[in-house]
Structure formats: structure tokens, C-alpha cells
Structure 1
Amino acid sequence: MSTPTDRSTVDAADTVEAVDAATDRSAHSLRGPAAEPRRRSGGGRGFPSALRGGGRVAGLDGLRTVAVVLVIVYHVKPDLVPGGSVGVDVFFTLSGFVITRLLIAEYARTGGIGLRSFYKRRWLRLGPAMLTMCAVTALLSLALPLPLFDGAWKAAVLAAVSVVNLVRAGESGPYSDLTAPLSHTWSLGVEEQFYLAWPIVLLLLLRHTTARRALAWVAALCVLPLLWRLALWDPSAAHRIYNGPDTRADQLLIGALLAVVLARLRADDPRLALLGRWAGRLCWPAFALLGLVAWQIPIADTSAWNPVWYTAGFMIAALLTATVVATLDLLPGSWPSRLLSLTALSWIGRNLSYGMYLWHYPVIRLLSDLGVEDDQLLPMGMVATVAAALASYALVERPLMRRG
């Protein structure tokens, strides 16, 4: 009987609601005296294109759908896509881009970043749905004699406080059974820890240096995790590197760097046109390389690829993803944008991708425990996952986001 393997997954959580783009004029915004002259000077406080567009990018939502489907297939049929965990790399970079774009847009409007409001929005978007999934998993563990859910309540507690990645990072040998029932939530831990730290770091950069220097600092920060992985690399450190928030930070920061670059360039700046032109040319090769990784490179298994992937590979995947993201953001009329902006793809990515991510792993484990045959596990798991995601969206996520 096939069971979902203990492999990495994707954080499809970062679906940005309209409230995220609203102007935050909360009394809790951190604005220093230096913000006043910037507010009067206009020009987006050094980010003239921070408010460019202002709406959702449908192609980015479609990219979320592709990534989360890839991961579901990977967890059920790893032989089909042995490198399917590259979906997590895609989502880290996408999340860094979207979050930073929102933060810079708020700074350009108001001269500050409302940290308390930001954390509240992130909690409303991510927390209740996560806690619901954890509670259901814990109840299954305690109420039913299901082998794959034995002791799952412990994993549910760790997932609820977003520390699964830290536990896994500390395991030098094979992953233990402690986090196995909800091991997919490791990537949520990485992103939550990034969300806690990055707005503060970005705000400090924006308040205490110029926009140009802030761009240089973000670029420098992107390099540090690569150097850190090179220093750490050893086969026994694979779990530490794969799950650590510090060793995966460059993937999120490269997305952040792209957001800063696009906000810095005016609409009539020839460098912006050049960037869009080259992104468009390189988009299909970037897609092809990411697909080749998913098809051929067993990222989460011990192989000859490990020394390369666990050091430079993370950054390479992030740069390929950033190329795709730049194309989708700058060239809405391009073929990649049109394809990923199809109504069904963009709707699922916008509304269901987070729920699909949360529920697919426990749903597949449940179906496997109930005796579903291997050849039926993928289609039945996909249907059940979408049903669970729809319920999560309708009953938990959407009502709370409206209240928020």
C-alpha cells in the first residue's frame, strides 16, 4: 500500500487578500521623525513604482496552483516527480516577492509599516485554518486506531506553533516519527519565521538608509545564506540545511529583492523595459529547468546531487523562479502569463491553494490507512483534498478574512 513519503512540501499559504493592499494608517505604524520629510517629498519615498498596478497578478495565482498540484503528486507518486519538492522553492521566492511588495507599497504611501496590523493580517490568513487542520488531525489520532495517525497529536501541537522545521533541522539521522504525520508543515514554519523577522529588518533599512542603499543591503543579504550553507555542508547536516530558516532565507530574500528592484524603477525607466524583455526571453527556459529538476533530480533523497543542491541549488531554483515571477508581473500579455492566468488556475491559486496545501497530507494518509489502492490514491486524494480545501475556504478562511 502506498503511503505519502516524508518529503518536503510547498507553502501555498501566501494568498494576498484585498485587505493586504489597503492603506494602513494604524496608530501602531512605526514612523520616526525622519518619515515626515519623506512624506512631504513625494515620489514614493524612493520607490516610484511601489504602487504600480495595485491589483492582483492572476498569473502568480496560477503559478501557486501548478506548484501545489506538483507537490501533491510528489507526495503520492514520488517516482513520477522525484524532484517535485522544488515546489517549495517556488513558493518561498513567490512569498518573499509578494510580502515585500506589499510592505514597500505601504511604506511608499504612509512612510511607515504597521507591524501590528501586518502580523494580525498574517495570523488571520494562516493561523485559524492551520489550527483547524491540526485539531482534526489530533482528534483522528485520539479517536481512531489508524496506524499512520498514531501519535499524530504531538505533531499537531508542533505544527500549531510552527516549529516542525526546527525539530526536523535538529535530527541528524532519518527523520523521526514525531513530526511525520504533519511533516509537510515544515515549510510553513520557515515562512512564519520569515514573516516575523523580515518586516522589522526591512523597516529598519528603509528608515535608516536611502532606498538605493536598502536595495544594496537586500542584495547582500541574499548571498549570506549561500555562504552559510557552503560552510555547513556535510551529509550529516542535510536536515539542518534543508529545514533551517537561516539556510533557506535566500530563496525568500531573492523574491524580496525582485520586489525592491521593481519598486525602485520608474515606469519610463529603460532598465525596467530591459528587465521585462530579458525576463520574457528567459521565462520558458526557466520553466523548463524547474520542470527538469522536478522530473529528474531526487532532491529529498540521498544522491550525488545533494552537495550541489543543498548549497547552490536552492539559490539557482530561486533565481529561476524570480525570472518567472518577473515575467508574470511585468508582461501580462505574454504567453506564460496568459496560460497561468486562466480562470480556473488563478481562482484555485487565489482561494484554495493554501487549503490544498494544509489538507493534502493528512487526507492522503487517511485514505491510505482506510485501504485505498495505490492506483486510486492520487485521484481520490486529489478530489478529497479539493473538497477539504473548499470547506476550509468557505467555513474558516473567507469568513475570518472578511472580519479582519
Structure 2
Amino acid sequence: MAKAPDSTAVADTEQEGADTAVGVRRPPAPVAPRASRGFPSAVSRTGRVSGLDGLRTFAVALVIVHHVEPDVLPGGAVAVDVFFTISGFVITRLLIAEYVRRGGISLMSFYRRRWLRLVPALLALCAVCVLLASTTSLWGFDGSLQAAGLSAVFLTNVVRAMEPGAYSDLTSPLAHTWSLGVEEQFYLLWPLALLFLLRRFRARTVLLSTAALCVLPLLWRCVLWTPEAAHRIYNGTDTRADQLLAGALVAVALARLRSDDPRLDLLRTWSARLAWPSLALLALIAWQVPVTEDLGVWTATWYTVGILAVAALSATLVTALELRPENRLSRLLALTPLAWVGRNLSYGIYLWHYPVVRLLASLGVQEGRLAATVVLTLLMALLSYYAIERPFLRRARVARARGPVPAAATA
């Protein structure tokens, strides 16, 4: 299963970076000189990147086509890799910026904002699925009560990782929420680890430590790999963490470099040169490579080295879109319709598309199924955004604007 970002993934994680809300002006926070040492660009690199929003739209389109017409895009699940990397990048740069501005990170405020961003819309989806299961005979929603319980506490990925054979029906109606579990478990652990690194070590050591952490999941996958461990590797947070950490590594690296640093020019040049090839390779994988099927040696390579390789491609794209907003790819992805959908609807599209697929399949819809899925999913995403997500996002921003300015990190 692939995921749109809650963002990572996937979901629009960048929403929490807004400094102001409607009718609320955020008071300036004092800069902590000691905290800012080593991260001179952290605060300046917190604005929206419209190209990333457009990339979300591109990726969520792959997700929908993959689930409706898997023969057309057998490798469309690669979109989850892209979303994980985006999520790791956005979350990390926001955390570092808060540390630099305030001299600490309010972890409870961070977790509260994550809850307001993700959970209300997810609970609404779970409620609808349970209602359909209890009031209709639609086979696509059988077992929704158990699936909803697992999804609501972000444990779908854990259950799927423990199933050695074919996936059971335990999570089927909401199986796509496995990636939300991966991201939420990462969000629970990574801020703690990052805060520890920021408070104990210099910026260079933080960067090297993040890079080292990117390698550990690869080594762990190599230890775990057998064909029977495919579900364990595909759904595990520990085995997919390098894709989120790749985005985190980009955020740490860019926060360390001043605008006049020659290394930044080098990154800007090479990320721009490699952006189109990276996007082309990701598209080729989506088009030609059935990453969730058993293909012998190729599958072993994919489930070990391939996951990190795709994370590197995704990180290259993220770097180029951040540093080169004026180039052709950035301007294409930043087109208003693409950026608006990615910014506001990507999470809702991801949440609703898979239940819509199951609904149409239960009703026996064959002709025009892809078009029907797109239309109905967009309608549900719009309803979710305006009726649920937007009001809760406003509450999160108000709380962020009015919250106390901590002198040190709080847990």
C-alpha cells in the first residue's frame, strides 16, 4: 500500500509551520544565541516550498492509479518513499528552527499539533467505515471495527508486519493507514533523538549522527531479509526509517549552511542537475517495477539497498525544490492548482481514496472506475478539509501563536 503524505506521507506536515493564523499575530520569539550556534540558516528556511506541495500532488496521483489500476502502475507504491522523505524534511526543519528561536523544543506542543493535524480526520474516516459495515452489506467494509481500532492508534503497520504470509482481513478496510503508523511512530521517537543531539553535540556532530542513522535501517534490513520477512521489512518503522531520516538529513545540512557558503552553491548546482533524472527514475519505477511482488534477486535488492536508493532520489528532489525555486521543475510543480491540492487536500485524498476504491468495487463498478474514484475522492477530501481539518488546524495555529516561549526544551 502506498500513502499520500500526512504529508511525510503522508499528509501535509508543513501546515504546522505556519507562524500566523487568521486573526492571530504571532509575537516574536527571542533568539537563543547558544541554540543558534551552528545552524545559521535554520530560521530563514521555514517558509513553504510550493514545489514540494506540487510533488505531493504528483505522488498522490500515483497512489490512486496504483490502487485502481495496478497493471498500469505496478510500482506506484514507490510514492510512499517520496512522502516519507518529504515528511522527514519538513518536520526536522521545523524542530530545528524552533530550537534556534526558543532555545528548546516543546515536545508536548509538537505532539499536540500532530494530533490536531492527523487524528480528527482519521477518526471521521474510521467512523464512516464502521457505519457502512454495520448498516450495509458492502463486502469492502467487513471487519471495519477492528481495522478502525488499529488505525486510530496507528498500529496497522505493526499488525501487517507480523503477518508472514498473505495479508489477513484484519486491517483490509483501512490497510492503507499502515504508513500513517510508520510516520507517527517516527514522529514519536525522532524529536526525542534530535533534541538529545542538539543539546549534547555541535551542529557538525548532529549532521554526522543523522547520516549514520540513515545507514542503520539498511544494515538491519540486510540482517532481516528472507522472502518471509518481506511484510516485516515493508511495514516496519525501524526498517523504513532511513526514508524519513534522508529528509531529516537534508534539513540538518541546509540549516548548517550560511547563504554565502560555497558548499551551498555546490548543493544548489548538483541537486538542480540531478532533479530531473531523479524524478524520471522514480517515475520509471512506478511504471515498470512491481515493488511488492516476489521477483527473486530483484526483490531482495529492493528490500535491502533499493529502499535507501529511492530515499536518496527523493532527498535529491527535495533539495532541488528547496534551493532552486526558479528552475523549470520547481516552477512546474509550483503551479497553483498542483500546489493548492498538495498543500490542502493531499492528506484527505490519501485517507479517502482507498475506502472509495473498496466502495466502488463492492458496488461492482467497472466502467470508468478510475474517473469515479478520482471524483468521489476529491469530494470527500474537500469535505474533510473544510469541515474537519481546517478548523482543527486553526486551533493548532492559535495554540502555537499564544503558547509560552520556553527557555529550555520541555518534555
TM-score normalized with structure 2 length: 0.91
Q: Choose 275-284 or 53-62, whichever is displaced more.
A: 53-62
Any idea what SS the aligned residue of 1:333 has?
A: coil
Residues 8-19 of structure 1 mapped to structure 2, 5 A cutoff: 8-13=2-7, 14-16=11-13, 19=16
Note if 1:359 corresponds to 2:359: no
- 1:32 — aligned with what? none
- 2:302 — aligned with what? 309
Alpha-carbon contact 1:20-1:121 (below 8 Å) kept: no
Alpha-carbon contact 1:45-1:111 (below 8 Å) kept: no
Any idea what SS the aligned residue of 1:49 has?
A: coil
- 1:201 — aligned with what? 193
- 2:211 — aligned with what? 219
Structure 2: 5+ residue stretches without partners: 21-29, 397-411
Alpha-carbon contact 1:49-1:265 (below 8 Å) kept: yes
- 2:319 — aligned with what? 326
Alpha-carbon displacement from aligned partner over 1:329-360 (angstroms, at most 9, x marks no partner): 00000111000000000000000000000000
Give me the whole-angstrom Cα distance separating, in 1, the residues matched to 2:237 and 2:198: 23
Alpha-carbon contact 1:80-1:295 (below 8 Å) kept: yes
Note if 1:345 corresponds to 2:341: no
Any idea what SS the aligned residue of 2:355 has?
A: helix
Residues 185-334 of structure 1 mapped to structure 2, 5 A cutoff: 185-304=177-296, 305-334=298-327
Give me the whole-angstrom Cα distance separating, in 2, the residues matched to 1:142 and 1:213: 54
User: Cα–Cα, structure 1 residues 360 and 277, in superposed 2: closer, same or farther, change >3 Å?
Assistant: same
Give the alignment partner of residue 61 of structure 1, picking from 48, 53, 56.
53
Any idea what SS the aligned residue of 1:357 has?
A: helix
User: Cα–Cα, structure 1 residues 53 and 207, in superposed 2: closer, same or farther, change >3 Å?
Assistant: closer
- 2:406 — aligned with what? none
Any idea what SS the aligned residue of 1:246 has?
A: helix
- 1:116 — aligned with what? 108
| Structure 1 residue ranges, 4+ long, deviating more than 6 angstroms after superposition | none
Alpha-carbon contact 2:268-2:320 (below 8 Å) kept: yes
State the 1:53 CA deviation: 4.3
Alpha-carbon displacement from aligned partner over 1:212-242 (angstroms, at most 9, x marks no partner): 1111111110000000000100000000000
Note if 1:148 corresponds to 2:163: no
Alpha-carbon displacement from aligned partner over 1:270-311 (angstroms, at most 9, x marks no partner): 000100100000011101110110011101111132101100
Give me the whole-angstrom Cα distance separating, in 2, the residues matched to 1:91 and 1:11: 5
- 1:28 — aligned with what? none
State the 1:18 CA deviation: 5.5
Alpha-carbon contact 2:34-2:103 (below 8 Å) kept: no
Structure 1: 5+ residue stretches without partners: 1-6, 24-35
Alpha-carbon contact 2:13-2:87 (below 8 Å) kept: no
Note if 1:134 corresponds to 2:141: no
- 1:33 — aligned with what? none
Give me the whole-angstrom Cα distance separating, in 1, the residues matched to 2:15 and 2:148: 30
Note if 1:82 corresponds to 2:88: no
Note if 1:22 corresponds to 2:19: yes
Alpha-carbon contact 1:20-1:102 (below 8 Å) kept: yes
Residues 14-53 of structure 1 mapped to structure 2, 5 A cutoff: 14-16=11-13, 19-22=16-19, 39-41=32-34, 44-53=36-45
Give me the whole-angstrom Cα distance separating, in 1, the residues matched to 2:177 and 2:45: 33
Give me the whole-angstrom Cα distance separating, in 2, the residues matched to 1:341 and 1:283: 15
Give the alignment partner of residue 373 of structure 2, picking from 356, 369, 381.
381
Note if 1:401 corresponds to 2:397: no
Alpha-carbon contact 1:21-1:102 (below 8 Å) kept: no
Give me the whole-angstrom Cα distance separating, in 2, the residues matched to 1:286 and 1:117: 36
Q: Choose 268-277 or 302-311, whichever is displaced more.
A: 302-311
State the 1:388 CA deviation: 0.2
Give me the whole-angstrom Cα distance separating, in 1, the residues matched to 2:33 and 2:295: 57
Give me the whole-angstrom Cα distance separating, in 2, the residues matched to 1:399 and 1:354: 15
- Letter of the 2:121 counterpart: A
Give me the whole-angstrom Cα distance separating, in 2, the residues matched to 1:132 and 1:95: 23
CA-based RMSD of the aligned residues comes to: 1.5
Give me the whole-angstrom Cα distance separating, in 1, the residues matched to 2:294 and 2:73: 15
Give me the whole-angstrom Cα distance separating, in 1, the residues matched to 2:43 and 2:18: 10
Give me the whole-angstrom Cα distance separating, in 1, the residues matched to 2:40 and 2:274: 26
User: Cα–Cα, structure 1 residues 302 and 10, in superposed 2: closer, same or farther, change >3 Å?
Assistant: farther
Give me the whole-angstrom Cα distance separating, in 2, the residues matched to 1:385 and 1:18: 21
Alpha-carbon contact 1:12-1:68 (below 8 Å) kept: no
- Letter of the 1:335 counterpart: R
TM-score normalized with structure 1 length: 0.92
- Letter of the 2:142 counterpart: D
State the 1:16 CA deviation: 3.9
Any idea what SS the aligned residue of 1:248 has?
A: helix
Query: What is the total number of aligned residue pairs between the two structures?
Result: 383
User: Cα–Cα, structure 1 residues 16 and 248, in superposed 2: closer, same or farther, change >3 Å?
Assistant: closer
